[in-house]
Amino acid sequence: AFDVVCERSGLTVSVAPEQTVLEAVGNAGIDVLSSCEEGVCGTCETTVLSGEPDHRDSLLTEEEKAAGETMMICVSRCRGARLVLDL
């Protein structure tokens, strides 16, 4: 599990291994638009303020993945213990 800090909402949400970030923040009342939920459409793209995303989408380029400035929260996860997102 890892924590997602939702900076604008002032909420910290724990993401369990069987859950997506999209589901976890949704359960906390933060609704992010989504569509494919498979990392291909880009609808759920979210700005990363800090932390290192574990990118699992098929949309960002290698350069964008390395930059780590945004992530698709329907599939991508966290490499460390904590991500801070612009949510």
Binding site for ligand FES (CB under 6 A): 34-37, 39-44, 57, 72, 74
Residue 70 β-bridge partners: 47
Number of Cα atoms under 13 Å in the Cβ half of residue 10 = 0
Closest separation between CB of residue 19 and ligand FES, Å? Answer: 14
Task: CB nearer to ligand FES: give 27 or 43.
Answer: 43
Rounded CA-CA distance 32/22 in Å is 7
Closest separation between CB of residue 55 and ligand FES, Å? Answer: 11
List CB contacts of 44: < 8 A, sequence separation 6 or more: 22, 32, 33, 34, 35, 37, 72, 73, 74
Task: CB nearer to ligand FES: give 13 or 75.
Answer: 75
Task: CB nearer to ligand FES: give 10 or 33.
Answer: 33
